[in-house]
A and B are shown apart, each in its own frame.
Chain A
Amino acid sequence: MMLIIKDLHVSIGDKAILKGLNLSINPGEVHAIMGPNGSGKSTLANVLAGREDYQITQGSIEYQGLDLTRLSTDERALQGIFMSFQYPVEIPGVSNLYLLKSALNAQRKKQNLPEIDAMDFLNIVREVMKQLQIDETYLYRDVNTGFSGGEKKRNEILQLLLLKPSLCLLDETDSGLDIDALRIVADGINLIRDPKRSIIVITHYQRLLDHVVPDVVHILSAGKMVAEGDRSLVARLEAEGYEPFLEKKTAGAA
């Protein structure tokens, strides 16, 4: 198994956000996670990536046979977990090129490989940038600084394609993208679909899932998975909204 999450409870401070979440993913699968705002989708991605402010109060996370909770954030990244951020941060003064190279070299170091040759690196990056139709000048701009929303997202996918992780967490990578960019990004994601790689796509919209077809679709609500199905679930959701899936909440409100 790529990932096995059992009965996961997570809080920030006193606030419980994930309340008994279960999720299992096989290598090669693409899982979509959908759910209302504030249901805990980003929280789940952040917890998997190892963000510190989140406390796991109960449950377990197993990634490729490892107890993930024991690894630091950077260690997880080096073990092949990659998150495309819903809101990528700006890092003034640090060039995109430098970040990409450092990230790649951190990975190579972990694998006992020497630092990548500067020319080889440029060739690889240029290739990927071409695919994503990102202008080469973006290499020399500061990380995400002054990038438009869509440019930031495309920059995340650039890193994804370069770092070739085993488990990809894509948190609303589609929001902020125009129609052409969406197609380009989707093509990029499809390109890395691989029997050894798993992808979690967090999204609110069907349009990305039309391009990146998921094997399983989950609906997360109030910190728990409330429904699971194949891609037809997405269409149902588009037609009916979340209402039918939120029995408990509706019952509680009534």
Chain B
Amino acid sequence: MKTQNEALETLLAQDYEHGFVTEIESDTFEAGLNESVVRAISKKKNEPEFMLAWRLKAFEYWQSLKEPHWAHLHYPAIDYQALSYYSAPKTPGQGPKDLSEVDPKLIETYNKLGIPLKEQEWLAGVAVDAVFDSVSVATTFKAKLNEMGILFCSFSDAVQEHPELIQQYLGTVVPYTDNFFAALNAAVFSDGSFVYIPPGVRCPMELSTYFRINAKSTGQFERTLIIADKDAYVSYLEGCTAPQRDENQLHAAVVELVALDRAQIKYSTVQNWYPGDENGLGGIYNFVTKRGECRGPHSKISWTQVETGSAITWKYPSVILKGDHSVGEFYSVALTNHHQQADTGTKMVHLGEYSKSTVISKGISAGKAQNTYRGLVKIAASAKGARNYTQCDSLLMGTECGAHTFPYLESKNNTARVEHEASTSKISEDQLFYLAQRGIGTEDAVSMIVNGFCKAVMKTLPMEFAVEARKLLGLSLEGAIG
């Protein structure tokens, strides 16, 4: 182990000439990506050898790839050498000192979301102390969860404390060979979440990354791994409803879910990364690979997502239905405004007999935004009696936006049944007038109509999350009409 470290240090030292890590003590690596960066990340995390080896293989593979451009997205080429690949949470010295230094636009947004001041300070990366309250709350629960044998911790901690589970499951659903961004993530991911629910345990509370994600406003390569062992159940919430104040940066996360026999995983996301301003400046490029595998019979995985953020979203939460009678669900609301572009959808891959999937996608476009649904339903020869139902609705606001639907179907078993429904509609003047006549202002009316349009998806969200999501939809559409 020691020689390994020494070897690393030598390598690190070499790389000074490439100018990538000038101060090892600092929180942020300098821009640039090469093998030494990958090694340096692994070293910072004090990772066991198998992790480093895996990262390096991923990096090597990534170098052989070209960035994909099949999606209905337009953005300037990303210079991967211009990005920094490791960034710890901001320290008070780097961020704004107090709220008076924070962009008033940001504070206004927080106020509208009803986020208390203390949290505002913390979200803005001002007073790191404020985080501690929440952290201690989290650890209280952690002890309780531990009693039930549930593991819920950061990915880094899991690598240290449960390397055997990581080694057994990491990359088994999303291998680093999966795609360009998955390979990149595998090579350089800095942290993320880990959940393991032991056999027969029903996790008694929603697990959430709300706090940690916020604390790491600079983390762009997370990796989440959730394992529900036989007969286990877990509901997991990802993201936060507060706008992230990130610059025009790349965010390439990977999420892997594994559901063993009769296990159920419900994964809900409210994604509200900074979408760029009304002129399309700034914002996050969000390239995420999310996939779940129903590994055992009668297992079930549900994805619910409400996407309102990011300048660019490239995201296809998928389910591999390996187990017989397994169930995959995808419920999505994707809202794009101004110059946002979203190319999102799902893949349902039916391998098991009588596996069943449901896809409900609601796309809303306003301003000059482009919203694309891309769905693949694949029925393997083995998937006798498989069934899929897909419903795909688009709502347009204004005349300059666009909605596109690309359903793909590949079926190799003629006992399978697949249904697809699609619609495109506009918010009508009649509806707005009717609501205004009842005293409801345009913004509230739009939000009401849009939420109505999304109802089938919203009702699959856990309660408080749905409330937040509803607020968020309204907020994201401000100024979209009138």
Contact = CB atoms under 8 A, between A and B. Distances in A.
Nearest to B459: A93
Contact of B430 (A89, A107, A142): A89
Contacts of A53: 429
Given A78-B439, A106-B438, A73 B433 contact: yes
B436 interface: yes
A163 B435 CA distance: 13
A97 to B, nearest CB: 12
A88 B437 CA distance: 11
Contacts of A94: 448-449, 451-452, 455
Contacts, number: 74
A92 B452 contact: yes
A83 B434 CA distance: 9
B370 to A, nearest CB: 24
Nearest to A83: B437
B438 A103 contact: yes
B440 interface: yes
Interface residues of B, number: 23
Contact of A103 (B429, B433, B439, B456): B439
B434 A93 contact: no
A159 interface: yes
A142 B451 CA distance: 12
Contacts of A52: 429, 433
Contact of B438 (A51, A72, A159): A159
Contacts of B437: 49-50, 73-74, 76-77, 82-83, 85
A88 B434 CA distance: 8
Contacts of B430: 89
Interface in A22-64: 49-53
Interface string A94-108: 100011001100110
A51 B429 CA distance: 9
A106 B439 contact: yes
A51 B448 contact: no
A107 B440 CA distance: 9
B431 A93 contact: no
A93 B436 contact: no
Interface string B266-277: 000000000000
A110 interface: yes
A245 to B, nearest CB: 30
B439 A93 contact: no
Contacts of B438: 77, 99, 102-103, 106, 159, 163
Contacts of B449: 91, 94
Nearest to B455: A93
B434 A89 contact: yes
Contacts of A163: 438-439
A72 B439 CA distance: 10
Interface string B440-482: 1110100011011111100000000000000000000000000
B428 interface: yes
B434 A92 contact: no
Contact of A74 (B441, B452, B454): B441
Given A89-B431, A91-B431, A102-B444, A72 B436 contact: yes
A82 B449 CA distance: 21
A159 B435 CA distance: 12
Given A91-B431, A102-B448, A73 B436 contact: yes
A85 B453 contact: no
A247 B430 CA distance: 35
Nearest to A109: B439
Contacts of B453: 92-93
19 contacts: A49-B433, A72-B436, A73-B437, A74-B440, A77-B438, A78-B439, A91-B449, A91-B452, A92-B453, A93-B454, A93-B455, A94-B455, A102-B438, A102-B440, A102-B444, A106-B441, A107-B439, A110-B439, A163-B438
Interface of B: 428-431, 433-442, 444, 448-449, 451-456
Given A76-B437, A77-B437, A89-B430, 11 more contacts: A50-B437, A52-B433, A73-B433, A73-B436, A73-B437, A78-B439, A88-B434, A93-B454, A93-B455, A94-B451, A94-B452
